[in-house]
Structure 1
Amino acid sequence: MGSERQNRMKALGAHLKRLRGEAGLTGAVLAQRAGVGQPTVSKVENGRMVPSLDVLGRLTRALGLDESTTREVRDLLVAVETAPGGVECAGGEAPTGSPLDEAVRSAQLVRSFQCVVLPAMLQSAEYARHVFDSAPDSTPEGVGRAVAARVERQSLLYEPGRESVFVLTEGVLRTWPGSPGLMLAQFDRLLAVESLRTVRLGVIPWRRSVPVMPRHGFTLCDRRAVVVESLRGERALDDSAEIAAYEETFACFEEAAIFGAEVRELLLRVMREFQELDPSTTR
């Protein structure tokens, strides 16, 4: 699933890594001097993250680059930003072009399982804002762009010919950021999406044991790829054996979930509990 942009990002990352080596700095020291997280330095150098202009400026200053070399590095960033395709971005940048984004946009059947956070395609704007705010090195501008891109991608749910199946644990519904009011708006969105003909939304109630212990969220895109989500980002896998294993696991979770009228009843019940927590709700 490579793209021209990803190739250019790898070139930028390799160049920065070489400059760091010439400066005699470790990734940890560079991160400390630049005031960014060490994972950010690692992802940028490995071509897995596009640095914002602010992050790139911090890195070049921490490396003590001269004006000519700094301009050269900035030109490489411009080449990345103007190329088609994309990768994960630093500073809360929009995830357009990430492995999940690319795979979902090209898929006719999307099957997603989540055990902690709501699937990206189902998040309200404010819920998504909290997700991006919690990312290392996030900025208000970057978070705004990321939220806008996430909301735009959700239009895929309404396209004829596509099918989306989401399976969540009940714990996802009860793991909430922000305020009860935010979650009430989020439940309104879940109820609206659940009614779409192109969407099947299932929840594994806490009263049912899970058939397999979940380790992380994942999204199957047709039978071509599975995007595995972790604290360190997303990885798109296209090995047929791995895809088959994740399909089997998803089928187990899907079988344990409730759908239709049962899931709407559960959503409304949990929603009422959030209403009890919201002081602005009239009783």
Structure 2
Amino acid sequence: MGSERRERMRVLGARLRALRADAGLTGAALAQQAGVGQPTVSKVENGRMVPSLDVLDRLSRALGLDESTAGEVRELLAAVEAAVETGSGFEGDVSVGLAVDEAVRGARLVRSFQCVVLPALLQSAEYARHVFESAPNSSPEAVGRAVAARVERQSVLYEPGRESVFVLTEAVLRTWPGTPALMLAQLDRLLAVESLRTVRLGVIPWRRPVPLLPRHGFTLCDQRAVVVETFTGEGVSVDSAELAAYEETFGRFERAAVFGDEVRELLLRVMKEFRELGDTVTP
């Protein structure tokens, strides 16, 4: 990631770590009192994760911070988020997809709509590799690190107290990189994730008209930020009017989608078609 953003994350983490030490708490004790996972505390303190404002406020209350100090750490978080908005790059020029990874890490409710590429949290390692390799000037080393980071961040899908809602067009399932074998593994992962209690996976079948023509994918993180994804990068907005517009748009796509048994039947049907396609198509 860009050096400015990385440094701001380190400053925030170091400040929280010092405040925890002043309070005489272990990381595990702070996590328990704040009602967050211990890995969350560790990653925030080590500058590896950007907490949501809700998580930061929980930590502040558990630490017993006064109003002035709590405001200080909020300002440090705002500085981190500002670094995203100004377009800080990521190491190896594999920025597309990493801002959303970090934004969702601290959110309790994630809602993602995609019309071409699978959501970051649902991508298999090989699918993600193709995503990052498509970035301009990417290096094998940077791609490898980005893939590993993405897979690690997907652990949020299994954490209690979180909810993830994904809405895809059927085109996402049929827009594939690599080989049919890669997509078979990817679709198998979607079946597994769809069964999680913390996840709702919806698909708008091609037989249904879309409520409006999608121009790009986007991800809502709680009700505090939206990450808008484009071919060349990502933008993060916290503007209330823009958030409201994206929430209304997501609701329209969600109402057009099928869930549950219908999604599983659709996934199995697409998997059957990829098996028939086999290795007859050269990537």
Q: Does 1:128 align with 2:128?
A: yes
Amino acid at match of 2:4: R
Residues 100 and 120, structure 2, Cα contact 8 Å, conserved in 1: no
The 3-state SS of whatever aligns with 1:165 is strand
Q: What is the Cα deviation at residue 134 of structure 1?
A: 1.0
Measure, in 1, the Cα distance between the counterparts of 2:129 and 2:93: 10
Question: 5+ residue gaps in structure 2?
Answer: 9-79
- Other-structure match for 1:88: 89
Q: Which amino acid is the alignment partner of residue 244 of structure 2? A: A
2:158 maps to 1:158: yes
Give the TM-score normalised by structure 1.
Answer: 0.67
Determine the C-alpha separation between the residues in 2 that align with 1:109 and 1:151.
Answer: 19
For residue 140 of structure 2, what is the aligned residue in structure 1? 140
How far apart, in 1, do the equivalents of 2:152 and 2:198 lie? 17
1:206-243 CA-to-partner distances (Å, cap 9, x unmatched) read 00000011010000000001010111211110011100
Secondary structure of the residue aligned to 1:203 is strand
- Given that 1:94 and 1:147 are in contact with CA atoms closer than 8 Å, whether structure 2 keeps it comes out as no
Q: Does 1:269 align with 2:283?
A: no
Check the 8 A contact 2:94/2:136 in 1, yes or no. Answer: no
Instruction: For residue 255 of structure 1, report the CA deviation from its aligned partner.
Output: 0.2
Supply the AA of the counterpart residue of 1:177.
P
Q: How far 1:247 sits from its partner (Å)?
A: 0.3
The question of whether the paired residues in 2 share the 8 Å contact of 1:130 and 1:178 is answered with yes
Quick one: distance in 1 between partners of 2:252 and 2:224?
20
Task: Indicate yes or no: 2:194 matched with 1:228.
Answer: no
SS in structure 1 at match of 2:92: coil
3-state DSSP class of the match of 1:226? strand
Root mean square deviation of aligned Cα:
2.5
Q: Does 1:5 align with 2:4?
A: yes
The alpha carbon displacement at 1:106 in A equals 1.4
Aligned ranges 1:168-207 → 2 under 5 Å: 168-207=168-207
The equivalences for 1:216-255 within 5 A come to 216-255=216-255
Q: 1:185 to 1:7 in 2, by over 3 A?
A: closer
**SS at 2:229's partner residue?**
strand
In structure 2, distance between residues paired with 1:212 and 1:94: 28
- 1:8-23 aligned at under 5 Å gives the runs none
* Number of positions where the alignment pairs a residue of Structure 1 with one of Structure 2: 204
Task: Output the amino acid matched with 2:270.
Answer: V
Contact 2:96–2:135 (CA under 8 A) maintained in structure 1: no
* Alignment partners' CA distance in 1, 2:218 and 2:237: 11
Structure 1 alignment gaps of length 5 or more: 10-82
Query: What is the percentage of aligned positions where both structures have the same residue?
Result: 72
Structure 1 residue 278 displacement after superposition:
1.0
Q: Contact 2:202–2:259 (CA<8 Å) still a contact in 1?
A: yes
Structure 1: distance between partners of 2:178 and 2:3: 38
Alpha-carbon distance in structure 1 between the residues aligned to 2:140 and 2:101:
22
Moved over 6 A (4+): none
